[in-house]
Amino acid sequence: MRRLWVGNCNSEYMVDRLEELDPREREGTPVVAARMVWLLRDGDALMLPQPVDPSFVAHVGALMGFDPARVDLLVPQDAAVRVLGQEELLRPEFLDRVRKVVAGEIRAYMSDRGIAALASAVGLPGGAVSTFDASGGAELFNSKAVFRALAAGLGVPVPDGAVCATRGDLERALDRLAAPTGAVIVKADRMGGGAGNVLCRTDPTVPPAGAALTLPLGRALDREAILAHTGLATTHAPRGQVVAETYHPHCRSLCLEVLCPAARVGG
């Protein structure tokens, strides 16, 4: 079956306060989206925020066994686009081009509510996007608050931390979480690539790995600046919850890949 792929990295459903995304992260978004070329097969279509070098597509096609002439790469007419948010995906002139290559299956970098709206707009069957994803289900997996809740429920070890919905939550957490290492990392609930992360440290020599910004931690005035940065209010979180965790410098990150082969028929 012909598939429509969508490189909707860093959409408004993936990133809180998209306007605050680091400019370097925004400029790099088309590069991340272009990785989806590796998923193409003959007859597929791929929506991207920016054009891809034809030599790269030819190289991937030779390795993966598809003919570049038999895939459709669609990009917005506006050369300034860096993120395929819902506003870009649903522009009439873009939709008209998509309808000409649309198939029965849609896959996306993130199957968010914008993808559900796109599927409906181009006339894909109702089941092309699951009701779970259309209701924001896939977006849960990009929430640090949800992750901590799931990890706690499953007994998965994570750094000591707190999900903070109010000013008081964060005020109470800062001293406790800073005690082991002298540093706390405060993260926006939904961001990526270190964007939205603030390292709060008593020692200015602590390396800010994984943080886009550093703030001092020690004096009362320092804490006030941290609270102001998050935007937390006394009774709610106008700009979204934040997750504060004890920061452990000089740690090594370990990654694990899992191969999930297709199920064998009759085996």
Convert the pLDDT of each residue in 166-214 to its tens digit. 999 999 999 999 999 999 999 999 887 777 899 999 999 998 888 888 9
3-state secondary structure of 67: coil
> Within this chain, do residues 110 and 90 fall inside the same structural domain, yes or no?
yes
Q: Which amino acid is at 7?
A: G
| Cα 1 versus chain centre, distance | 28
What is residue 212's predicted lDDT score, i.e. its pLDDT?
A: 80
Kindly state whether residues 199 and 236 are assigned to the same domain. yes
Let me know whether 132 and 149 are in one domain. Answer: no
Instruction: Please indicate, yes or no, whether residues 162 and 67 belong to a single structural domain of this protein.
Output: no
Share of the chain above pLDDT 70, in %: 99
- Report pTM: 0.81
222 and 110, same domain (yes or no): no
Number of residues in the chain: 267
Work out the average pLDDT over 118-129.
86
CB 164 within 8 A of CB 173: yes
- Kindly state whether residue 14 falls inside one of the protein's structural domains: yes
For residue 115, with 0-12 CB atoms within 10 Å meaning exposed, 13-18 middle and 19 or more buried, which class applies? Answer: buried
Give me the number of domains the chain comprises: 2
Verify that 154 and 239 share a domain, yes or no: yes
Are the beta carbons of 66 and 27 closer than 8 angstroms?
no
Q: What residues contact 230, with CB distance under 8 A and at least 6 apart?
A: 164, 170, 186, 198, 237, 239, 242
Q: Do 154 and 183 have their domain in common?
A: yes
Judgement on whether residues 120 and 7 belong to the same structural domain of the protein? yes
What is the span of the domain harbouring residue 235? 143-246
pLDDT computed for residue 217 by the predictor: 94
Is pLDDT at 101 greater than 90 in this prediction? no
pLDDT, mean of residues 86-103: 88
- For 56-84, b/e burial (b = at least 16 CB within 10 A) is ebeebbeeeebebeebbbbbbeeeebbbb
Please check whether residues 128 and 148 belong to one and the same domain.
Answer: no
**CA of 113: how far to CAs of 117, 122, 143, 145, 249, in Å?**
6, 15, 15, 20, 37
Do residue 123 and residue 8 come from a single domain? yes
pLDDT band at 267 (very low <50, low <70, confident <90, very high): low
Based on the domain organization, do 67 and 135 belong to the same domain? Answer: yes
> By three-state DSSP, how is residue 216 classified?
strand
253 assigned to some structural domain: no
Are 94 and 76 contacting, i.e. CB atoms less than 8 angstroms apart? yes
